[in-house]
Amino acid sequence: MPKPLKIVLMSGGPGAEREVSLRSGAGVAQALRSLGHAVVDLDPQKPDWILPPATDAVFLALHGTYGEDGTVQAQLEKLGVPYTGCDAGASRIAFDKVLTKQRCVAAGVPTAKYLVVESARTPWPLGWQPPVVVKPVRQGSSVGLHFVDRVADWPGALAEALRYDSQLLVEERIVGRETTVGILDGTALPVVEVRPKTGSYDYQTKYTAGATDYFCPADLDAVTTRRVQDAALGAFRAIGGRDYSRVDVMVRAHGEPVVLEVNTLPGMTETSLLPKAAAVAGIGYAKLCQRMIDLALKRSGGERMGDNTAFTAKICVATMS
């Protein structure tokens, strides 16, 4: 058994993915407690929060705005407390789909053709043909995502997606197999193929048990598997990732990988993909959670904080919106 620690489990938060985050947090808390750790639940939905004395590490089970955009990471860095996952800089880049695209292009990582839109009155782009995908630049879990199969649907998709962000990413819609690659401590885990039973892999199908079939390892030949994993690792490195992430990759008919995005705090629910891939690699759920904590502590030398130290983070309301 690992050495017992006092771990603060942060989940919930103020973002659009609050409910999924709470589900991730519940699973992680149960796993950490089964390992003998003392787990303190903390829901940072209010403008200030306090870490209890003698906190050894913070496990981030937050998703979306505030949790994955680098805000909470920057606060924890100021406090000097070890926390799981990517640092503030990499989180900020990965959460911004345009910055991620720019990093991938610069690093030679294959990604889809794209443009940025900031107004619902933007005309259909010259030289483009449907179908396209419209996404808020700074959201996760397919929040605000729309597939546009006809030019006539373009204005409505823009208007709806702009409810979630002031900028939209428009991409060519890649036809192929939908896969995702978990990354743990610099190693690509087995590829997971995602096949929704109906429609697309949107927010609803992601988090509804039984709505999607998952195949891990994906039924890809060895060469294609390596290409997909290499593309995922390339994107992870391009955004400056550390410890773990999940990279979504489309695979064209001839085996060409196309990176969609990097998720720095991937879901840890019963339907989440990183735990599925880790399990196939022989890393059970509780062991995976422990590895995430171990990686965080390794950066701090594994030292505990003083018993009389309390941390207060005063976060202005503007950063929580």
User: Active-site residues: which are they?
Assistant: 17, 141, 207, 246, 248, 261, 263, 267
Q: Are 118 and 167 in contact (CB under 8 A)?
A: yes
Cis amide bond preceding 217, omega within 30: yes
Q: Are 66 and 320 in contact (CB under 8 A)?
A: yes
Helices (H) and strands (E) in the chain, counts: 10, 14
| Backbone CA torsion sign across 108, 111, 115, 119 | negative
The Cα-based distances of 210 to 194, 196, 248, 290 in angstroms read 12, 9, 20, 27
Residue in the block written with tokens 């695209």 = 101
Locate 251 and state its tokens: 């695979």
Q: Are 115 and 125 in contact (CB under 8 A)?
A: yes
**Identity (one letter) of the amino acid at 153?**
D
**What whole-number distance in Å separates Cα of residue 17 and Cα of residue 12?**
8
Cis amide bond preceding 131, omega within 30: yes
Task: Return the biggest CA–CA distance within the chain.
Answer: 63
Q: Which of 244, 287, 234 is nearest to 264 (CA)?
A: 244
Q: Which of 3, 30, 10, 38 is nearest to 311 (CA)?
A: 10
Which contiguous run of DSSP H or E holds residue 116?
strand 114-117
**Cβ neighbour number for residue 138 with a 10 Å cutoff:** 22
Q: Are 296 and 82 in contact (CB under 8 A)?
A: yes
